[in-house]
């Protein structure tokens, strides 16, 4: 069963590279600590987006439950999390797949389905509900921006004013022996 799962990795890697434009993709080499040590089956990166895929070679309740548990934890460290399962082969699996899709949508976890061995590829069945990374970055900037005291803001205003005065004098060709740090400027004597 482990070998069946590992055979899925190359198709998932191809999906991440070609469909999600990941710059780098690794299989079983990315891990993180959260309650226990989690090793992501296939991980990829594109800019600020980190993709994680948990693969299971069987479409049954136990496999899906295990994959869902792992995917939930992957969301602690990744922006785009998927579960990859094989396409259903019989009516029972098709019925289960409907429940799987519903749960994935509700959880915000993407679902990839691997086609049968003959055409072997991975298709995106349910999209990940992605965080808005631009909005995330705006909030991050606001939270990490240093706030200045009123005194520091006032001092900054004086520095900017003096700098503008100095630049104005330089661009207008006015030269003076006065100390440029004094304000208001004094008349030359």
Per-10-residue mean pLDDT of the chain, 189 residues long, equals 86 95 93 82 90 95 96 90 95 96 94 78 82 64 62 66 67 57 54
Domain boundaries, the chain: 2-137, 147-189
Please state, in angstroms and rounded to a whole number, the distance separating the CA atoms of residues 157 and 38: 51
pTM (predicted TM-score): 0.67
- The per-residue pLDDT for 2 is 77
| Assigned CATH topology for domain 2-137 | Trna Endonuclease; Chain: A, domain 1 (3.40.1350)
- The per-residue pLDDT for 82 is 96
**Strand order from edge to edge, sheet including 122-126:** 24-34, 36-46, 49-55, 80-86, 110-114, 122-126
Nearest to 128 by CA among 70, 66, 53: 53
């Amino acid at each position: 069963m482990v070998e069946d799962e590992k055979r899925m990795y190359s198709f998932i890697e191809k999906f991440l590279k070609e469909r999600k434009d990941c710059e780098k993709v690794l299989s079983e080499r990315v891990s993180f600590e959260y309650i226990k040590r989690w090793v992501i089956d296939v991980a990829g990166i594109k800019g600020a987006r980190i993709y994680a895929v948990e693969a299971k070679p069987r479409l049954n309740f136990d496999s899906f439950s295990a994959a869902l548990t792992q995917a939930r934890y992957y969301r602690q460290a990744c922006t785009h999390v998927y579960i990859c399962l094989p396409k259903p082969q019989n009516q029972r699996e098709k019925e289960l797949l409907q429940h799987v899709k519903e749960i994935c949508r509700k959880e915000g976890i993407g679902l990839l389905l691997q086609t049968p061995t003959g055409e072997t590829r991975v298709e995106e069945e349910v999209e990940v509900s992605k965080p808005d990374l631009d909005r995330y970055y705006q909030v991050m900037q606001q939270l990490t921006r240093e706030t200045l005291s009123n005194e520091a803001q006032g001092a900054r205003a004086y520095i900017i004013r003096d700098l503008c005065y100095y630049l104005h004098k330089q661009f207008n060709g006015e030269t003076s022996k006065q100390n440029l740090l004094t304000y208001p400027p004094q008349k030359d004597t």
